[in-house]
Amino acid sequence: MKLAFTVQYEGTNYSGFQKQSNAITVQDCLLNAFNEIIDHPIDMNISGRTDKGVHALGQVFDINTDIHRKQEQWINGLNASLPNDISIVDVIEVPNDFHARFDATERQYCHVLFLGNEKPIIQKNFVSWIKRDIDIEKLKFQTKFLLGKHDFSAFRSSRCNSNNPIREIKSIEIKQHKKMVFITITANAFLQNMMRIIVGTLIDIAKNEISISLKEIMISKDRKFAGKTMTPSGLFYLGPKYPKTPKINTPKQIQYII
């Protein structure tokens, strides 16, 4: 039997999702919680990696098990052993050939910016602080060049090990609520740091710290022409989309951060 779980987490205290040999990750905590309620080792497929400090509202992973429990028993049992910054929010049975990563046709991220001179104390773990106002309309104009299928080599980390830099951005939405700006991007997949570099480049263009357009940077395929990598604190993984498994209710909607 295969089960798909949806998990939310604050990434502040973790070195990303995926298990590592020398750091505490979200996956470590999940595996420890499973060890408390089942008596066999598990393999876990995830819909997408998140880096250190990045949060998730709709991360999905799947496991195989012969243990039958009600939905609330899985959720309550795991959450009882998880730290208070990680929470299982849903679980459903899925076909045996389901794969959390390979079956996802879209993934969605939202980067939250806080504009203003005052330091965001209450929201500091959940926003990237921009110390002055920026031209939102200029951001919207620049992002239209990213739509579609392109080589995003200019917007990936030097540590990115993907053999194929081609990705397809399906939608970009920029909304402002008081001092908060929400930049939401949906793509078939993302390169390492791709979202954070795109947002950092947009901010540098809006500040007139970069003189060429986003389109020119993309065509260059050269990371040196792009802007800074934005801080991870404002980045949320909203989740994947599974057309063949619509009962998995992702991506999640981000609410305004007080």
The CATH number for 229's domain is: 3.30.70.660
Which residue range forms the structural domain that includes residue 55? Answer: 2-103
Confidence of residue 103 (pLDDT cuts 50, 70, 90): very high
- The letter for the amino acid at 62 is D
- Do 114 and 234 belong together in one domain? yes
Burial of 140 (0-12, 13-18, 19+ CB in 10 A): middle
Residues 160, 211, single domain; the answer is: yes
Identify the sign of the CA torsion 150, 156, 237, 200.
negative
Q: Which two tokens stand for residue 227?
A: 């802007």
Domains identified in the chain, total number: 2
Question: Which pLDDT score, from 0 to 100, does residue 254 have?
Answer: 85
Average pLDDT, stretch 91-112?
A: 96
Are residues 124 and 234 located together in one domain of the fold? Answer: yes
**Chosen domain end from 56, 80, 103:** 103
CATH assignment at residue 58: 3.30.70.580
Chosen domain end from 45, 70, 103: 103
CA distances from 191 to 4, 38, 49, 84, 128 (A): 24, 34, 10, 29, 20
To the query of whether residue 85 is one of the catalytic residues in this protein, the response is no
For residue 251, what pLDDT is reported?
A: 86
- Report yes or no on 193 lying in a domain: yes
Residue 161's contacts (CB-CB under 8 Å, 6 or more residues apart) are 192
Length of the chain: 258
The span from the CA of 220 to the CA of 218, in Å, is 5
Are 232 and 157 within one domain? yes
> Which pair of structure tokens corresponds to residue 255?
């609410």
Q: Are residues 144 and 230 in the same domain?
A: yes
What CA–CA distance (Å, rounded) separates 144 from 140?
Answer: 7
Q: What is the mean pLDDT of the chain?
A: 94
45 and 125 assigned to the same domain:
no
Domain match, 58 and 111 both: no
Query: Do 126 and 37 belong to one domain?
Result: no
Residue 258, pLDDT score:
66
Catalytic residue among 28, 39, 43, 51: 51
What's the pLDDT tens digit per position in 188-220? 999 999 999 999 999 999 888 888 999 999 999
In this prediction, residue 207 carries a pLDDT of: 86
User: Are 65 and 93 in a shared domain?
Assistant: yes
